[in-house]
Amino acid sequence: MAAKKTDKPRSAGADAERLYAALRRIRRAEEEVARIYPTDKIKSPVHLSIGQEGVAVGVCDPLEPRDAVSGTYRGHATYLAKGGSLPAMMAELYGKDTGCARGKGGSMHLIDMKANVLGTSAVVGTTVPVAVGFAMAQKMLGTGAVVACFMGDGATEEGCFPESLNFAALHKLPVIFVCENNGFAIHEPIAKRQATDKICARVATYGIPAKRFADSDTKAIRAHVAKALPKMRKGGGPIFLECMTWRWREHVGPGEDYDAGFRSRSTLLKWQKKDPVAIAGRALPAAVRAKIDAAVEAEIAAAVKFAEDSPFPAVQELSTDVFA
């Protein structure tokens, strides 16, 4: 894989516009998914990342096209932030033949190898060793590419997590491990699942530099990753980010879960004051923001139309790409 220079324009103004556009695009795409979901046109369960977008955008913005990401079933933001096709994502949610997994994977199994989105998975933790394996290949091929590996706090309780940390640290692999710590695995708070809340301290025992971001500030995450990349590309080994964040909606589905009794709306209100999309928007003049918003709406409307107009897969597709 040839090393490509990034094609992103760089200046303070361009950075602010690009970050807002990326955040707004993910937010609005997921709000559209939530709006459409009750019509039953969307054929797969959806795990929305509304509220958490700053993590994916902060990590992916400094990446180059040659770099890769792997993600979780809550992966719309990861996929879109790395440049995955929005029409192909919408079509995938609709179960259509033009979807990024030919309509066979749904929201939890997004992939776009043109953008180096390695894939997302419904099975907690499984994409972590996949990312490490891809990073091993980059090291062996000498591409200088890095892999950002997104996971929830629940995934850090899977056996493959410490195994992957150890292997990546031992072989000095170019992996940015990103834990999106929203405090819950479905309904279970982290305090009832983990003996201590010191994820970074645990990771650091593998010799991996680990840093917690208390409010997942998009620009702070972005700056940290941008600073780490040159050393990682030269064999400096993995890093770990624990990004404290909050999912605004229910675990799965378009609604909320504040009546279920396990978390409170008052905490949501605190996190909404740190809304990454609103913060990025306030950094721009209103006219610039309005232009970006209009472009985002047009792109999302076109993606939804593409999904609606696309055909379902042919019946014989049921037995293609099936390995057993």
Helix, coil or strand: residue 216: coil
Q: Which of 95, 154, 237, 281 binds ligand TPP (CB under 6 A)?
A: 154
Q: Does 191 bind ligand TPP (CB under 6 A)?
A: no
Alpha helices in 106-217 (DSSP H): 127-141, 160-170, 199-204
**Between 98 and 182, CB nearer to ligand TPP:** 182
Contact 52, 112 (CB under 8 A): no
Residues near ligand TPP (CB under 6 A), total: 14
Give the footprint of ligand TPP on residues 234-273 (CB under 6 A). Answer: 251
**C-alpha–C-alpha distance, residues 228 and 208, integer Å:** 12
Q: Does 119 bind ligand TPP (CB under 6 A)?
A: no
Q: Does 62 bind ligand TPP (CB under 6 A)?
A: no
Contact 176, 59 (CB under 8 A): yes
- Stretch touching ligand TPP by CB under 6 A, among 79-87, 119-127, 274-282, 283-291: 119-127
- DSSP strands (E only) in 136-198: 147-152, 175-181, 184-185, 188-189
Q: Does 184 bind ligand TPP (CB under 6 A)?
A: yes
**C-alpha–C-alpha distance, residues 222 and 204, integer Å:** 21
Q: Does 155 bind ligand TPP (CB under 6 A)?
A: yes
To which H or E segment does residue 92 belong? helix 86-93
**Between 77 and 135, CB nearer to ligand TPP:** 77
Q: Which residues is 120 bridged to in the sheet?
A: 71
Residue type, 261: G
Residue 116 Cβ, how far from ligand TPP at the closest point, in Å?
22
- Stretch touching ligand TPP by CB under 6 A, among 35-43, 54-62, 180-188, 303-311: 180-188
Q: Does 124 bind ligand TPP (CB under 6 A)?
A: yes
| Closest residue to bound ligand TPP by CB | 152
